[in-house]
Structure 1
Amino acid sequence: MAADTINIPQPPREEEQLGYYYGLPSRPKLVARSSTDPYKYNFDFSTQYPVGKLLSSVRQHPIADLWNTDGPLRREIVLALDGIQWTVIDVLRLGYQPRMTEELQLNHPVTLLISVKKDSTPWEQGHSVVVRCHEILQNYGISDVHCEMKESHTIRLASPPAAPLSAPKLHSEYAQTYPGRSTTCEVECEKIHAVLSAYLGHSIATFDQPTREGTKCLYLRRKDTGQVLLLICRHALFNGTSANEDYIYDESNAESMVTILQPGDDTLARRKKDIALCIKCVDFHIESIKRLDELTQDEKKARIAEELATLPRLEAAAGRLEDVSPPATRIIGHVLFSPKFGTSTRTTGQSSSQRVRDWALIELHPGKHASPLEELENEVSVTEKERLNLLCAHEVEGFTFHRHLSFHYLRNTLPLVGMVSEAETKGGEHESRLPEEPAILVGKRGQRSKLTYGLANNVTSLMREVVDNIEFVSEEWCILGPKPCGWMTDRRHCFCGLGDSGSCIWDLQSRVGGMLTSASGDPTYGGIDTAYATPMEWLLEDMRAYGYDVEILDGERPDSDIGQAD
């Protein structure tokens, strides 16, 4: 009888619940797993640090083709979750990242990861579900994929009629350099230059909710009229208390107009605080120089002159921020149309996908832009340091070469041209260390987390949400955060943060891939394990269904680029 009890599943101890996913940014709690392998604490005695777990894209595996279509496998898994308050289903590789070897994370086992709401699922119920899901996978010939359940949150990443004619315009000017040796001050002035520009990736908010911020995604052009529109996320504009209904701009009802600000109040406040600190630092540096006995008077005068040379630019930047303090001076346009939050099934290429409608089209105000709207280009702000980070991303992800990314060095931008097809998001491009293993390295600029790179998964994720007591299940393009350079590469950083909703996702050919909408993790710790985007090809098709036949506003690639590795 004692021998029979050995095989009876036991709930995980607290150590396993809290430590099983060590290494993931949000520190999720394990609920249950189908694997019977004993849990073992993994410690690297050579570094005196515990070894964390790492999520990686699936790439080559039989489950990819079965899961990426709305076929019987997916339907049976979702049916097995009936009665469970699940939020996301991801199919990813999960394992310990070796520190001192060249072993690839491709050797990590593929895992079906089910995220559930906190404290919603007891172990007994969760274990029954993951075992059933594992059995379903085996019935389809997938015997090497286990199922796990963890607690995690789904996060939507949001945080007058027109601006006066005298309001400062959004510019597309070159980034200028000024004399002075204060690198910090130069960087801060560059941030202000960018946040008041027409470039993508910067803060937007509504006039009525100026602290609920999102991110500028992409400029589009209507094929019938040539009108230039801005694409952003709906949920960054309308919060949970707003009626879930189509919004259509009514010229005859001025009070119904939803106007858009750039930047939002929180971003403006941060920039003001930082530039004021830079100005104070100049005074502090000057007083410190005066007290340096080892310097001659001439040397002191020279260094003080260098510090004073930074003041004109700092004070000018502070003045630009003061000029846009009144919200009305920051109005860049108004909402033209936004369909109610829900799901649509659209066909792109040879496949159909059911995805969430979470988009809004903004009619831009010409008077707020320094250039004619038809001359706008889809350019993402990219600093010199961020360009160098791309080389690091290639190295730590194991890419042996990269595509040309044509940066505009005078404007510190990356022009976006072309589009990644939805089919490519499920199959990838052969850019990884192993030619047969598809992977896409992507980037984005969000108003909160700035520019980050990440690894796109080639297997679709499913997300479940309930709005107005109606359940929505949608397909999502899953993106993992970057691995840091250096020796701590056994974990990934967050790809995005609150306020990054609407960020444009692009690949290493400067092609538009999609729009960032949500993430999974734990806001308590500020950790994001996985981010989710809607492919741009699907979005454009959905807009056409509502009568907006639009195309991406393409510009020209500059001659300069970061080169190509051998």
Structure 2
Amino acid sequence: LTDKREDKRSDESGTSGSSGGASYLTAATSPRDFADNISAEEYRFYYYGLTKSIHSTPRLIARSGIDRFSIDFETVGGWNMPKEAMKKRMSIVKPGSHLITSIYDSRIRVRIREVIKEIDWECVDIARVGRHACYDDNKVFVLITCPKDAKVDHSTGMRLVQQCQDILNESGLEDVGVEIKEGTYVPLAGEDGIREHLFEPVPLIGTSIGIAYRDGAKVSCSSGTIGLYLTIGDNSTPYGLTCRHVIFPPSRPPPGGPKSGFTHNEGSFRVDAPSFVDCQEEIEDIETRLKYEEEEYACEGGLKEQQERGSEYLSEATKGLINCHIKNTNEYQDRLKTMREFDTDMGFVYAASADDLSRSEGIRDWAIIKLDPRRLDGCDDSQKIFNKAVQGTVPTSEINNPIVCPVPDSEEGGQCHPCMRVVKCGRTTGWTISEVSGIKSDCQRTKGSISTEIFIPDARASAPFSTVGDSGSMIFDFQGRVVGMIHGGNAIEGSTEKIATYATPIEDLLKDIEKELGAAVAIA
């Protein structure tokens, strides 16, 4: 099978077809044996619905089961578009809702890793996937993600799928499937994003930070999110916390090399808040608004010409428009003056983790920022969640065994299973909501270095939980406690539209920072 994402047939509208009124067709494989090749439709549309764009939909490599694949289309306006009912949904496996939540870590995780070590996989997630509107009715799958350049062919994929399925069957998990799909781990630092609260003297948590640096002949930028403020040792001065890869992208490694870390640095590696790119975009946006306001006022027969005739000839409505123009113009000019004079220098990188694994087998991806004294005034007001101070941290043990009010599986009752609902505020996507899985995911950013991370699937019915530019964002439970820090996601290569988010538990993160700095660390 070939990847036809660049072909017109891979447009977001679906596949090309004859124009005219709505018609219907079904693209399906024949009933298949376990080792049969997958069809072109199955390869391309098997995960339809996990992303908003067909272009960003993951491609299937191999799967267990002998059920045939089918998808119904309707032709509208010359395009064959999959029906709404064909969309799949991905959700968490709630703690206690399935046997796999109690035995995966102790009996299965390591064995799955051993089976798939021959291929260059990047993520292993445990999730429910299917077309049922009630997420808890969908089947549980072990989802293995491989980058396209790993070139895992169908026969190799099916062999590994069968071996993984055998492991599950031996543990009494015959109802759990195994699938291998194309995709990659995506660090969530970037250049696009929202620009709210950018020019506050004290950078608010959840807003923009970043760097600008010379990359050869051009100036490159990296942007992320300021996640928290911390205190170190007996010093009450707050330090900012974000992801290491926001400050040190691949083309700008630390002085000790791409995977090195350091502590107690003084003065080097300046950090901006807001980031350079966000600052420039906001200035350009206000300049455009001001220009439009002035052009509209000065156009022939417009407000300026009417005003010059004399106020005695103006209607009350026209006077109101002129006053509104003057008000808007003054506001835009004042904002431009403030932004152009604003010193974006937030401080410098005081410490950064090495690019490796922590003692708890999580990704080490943090950086501590020592704030410029000029940015510290009123710092207490920046550390707020739900209009109140951050309420502490969630123990790692509670993430997999949440002590929250259980949510019924259906409106008519049924067995209840607790799950941890979370929110986050990030530079790009702002406030979003989702649920934390009862089973952590495996991530392999470099061959042989495997970490276990909090797994948060996107809620397709709402905005994506996170995207590029949200690295460093903190996840909070509904009590305002910190759950973890976002660092990456799962998406197909070349796309920023993800199907899942990965995060490091805050308890593990703070312990790792304390170990490196040799001092106690607490939320400021």
Report the TM-score when normalising by structure 1: 0.74
Within a 5 Å distance, the mapping from 1:477-556 to structure 2 comes to: 477-484=454-461, 493-546=463-516, 547-553=518-524
Q: Deviations over 1:77-100 (max 9, x none)?
A: 1101021111000000001143xx
Partner amino acid, structure 1, of 2:362: R
8 Å CA contact 2:419–2:437 kept in 1: the answer is: yes
**Residue aligned with 1:445, SS:** strand
Q: Unpaired runs of 5+ in structure 2?
A: 1-30, 77-81, 215-219, 307-312, 410-414
Q: 1:516 to 1:195 in 2, by over 3 A?
A: farther
Cα shift at 1:288: 8.5
8 Å CA contact 1:51–1:97 kept in 2: the answer is: no
Determine whether 1:304 maps to 2:322: yes
8 Å CA contact 1:289–1:300 kept in 2: the answer is: no
Determine whether 1:432 maps to 2:407: yes
Aligned to 2:334: 316
| Residue of structure 1 aligned with 2:207, choices 202, 205, 213 | 202
Aligned to 1:389: none
Q: 1:48 to 1:42 in 2, by over 3 A?
A: closer
Cα shift at 1:50: 5.3
Q: Deviations over 1:12-32 (max 9, x none)?
A: 011100000011223000000
| Residue of structure 1 aligned with 2:131, choices 90, 93, 96 | 96
Within a 5 Å distance, the mapping from 1:308-387 to structure 2 comes to: 308-324=326-342, 329-345=343-359, 353-371=360-378, 375=380, 377-379=382-384
8 Å CA contact 2:115–2:164 kept in 1: the answer is: yes
Cα shift at 1:425: 1.6
8 Å CA contact 1:196–1:262 kept in 2: the answer is: no
Aligned to 1:123: 154
310-319 or 497-506: bigger deviation: 310-319
Within a 5 Å distance, the mapping from 1:128-527 to structure 2 comes to: 128-159=159-190, 191-192=196-197, 197-206=202-211, 208=213, 211-241=221-251, 242=253, 243=257, 244-251=259-266, 257-283=268-294, 286=297, 297-324=315-342, 329-345=343-359, 353-371=360-378, 375=380, 377-379=382-384, 406-407=386-387, 415-428=389-402, 429-434=404-409, 436-466=416-446, 471-484=448-461, 493-527=463-497
**Residue aligned with 1:442, SS:** strand
Give the distance between the partners of 1:334 and 1:193, measured in 2 at CA.
Answer: 18
Partner amino acid, structure 2, of 1:473: I
Give the distance between the partners of 2:319 and 2:276, measured in 1 at CA.
Answer: 40
8 Å CA contact 2:265–2:349 kept in 1: the answer is: no
Cα shift at 1:125: 0.3
Aligned to 2:141: 111
**Residue aligned with 1:436, SS:** strand
8 Å CA contact 1:207–1:258 kept in 2: the answer is: no
Q: Deviations over 1:178-202 (max 9, x none)?
A: xxxxxxxxxx9x9355666421112
Give the distance between the partners of 2:320 and 2:434, measured in 1 at CA.
Answer: 45
Give the distance between the partners of 1:65 and 1:109, measured in 2 at CA.
Answer: 17
Partner amino acid, structure 2, of 1:474: S
Q: 1:62 to 1:263 in 2, by over 3 A?
A: same
Partner amino acid, structure 2, of 1:438: P
6-15 or 263-272: bigger deviation: 6-15
8 Å CA contact 2:212–2:222 kept in 1: the answer is: no
Give the distance between the partners of 1:473 and 1:48, measured in 2 at CA.
Answer: 38
Q: Cα RMSD (Å) of the superposition?
A: 2.8
Aligned to 2:37: 11
Partner amino acid, structure 1, of 2:269: V
456-465 or 225-234: bigger deviation: 225-234
Give the distance between the partners of 2:100 and 2:238, measured in 1 at CA.
Answer: 41
8 Å CA contact 1:43–1:49 kept in 2: the answer is: no
Report the TM-score when normalising by structure 2: 0.80
Partner amino acid, structure 1, of 2:374: G
**Residue aligned with 2:417, SS:** coil
Aligned to 1:82: 117
Partner amino acid, structure 2, of 1:526: T
Give the distance between the partners of 1:430 and 1:291, measured in 2 at CA.
Answer: 61
Count, aligned residues: 454
Q: 1:307 to 1:484 in 2, by over 3 A?
A: farther
526-535 or 540-549: bigger deviation: 540-549
Cα shift at 1:291: 6.1
209-218 or 105-114: bigger deviation: 209-218
8 Å CA contact 2:350–2:368 kept in 1: the answer is: yes
**Residue aligned with 2:340, SS:** helix
**Residue aligned with 1:551, SS:** strand
Aligned to 1:175: none
Q: 1:158 to 1:304 in 2, by over 3 A?
A: same
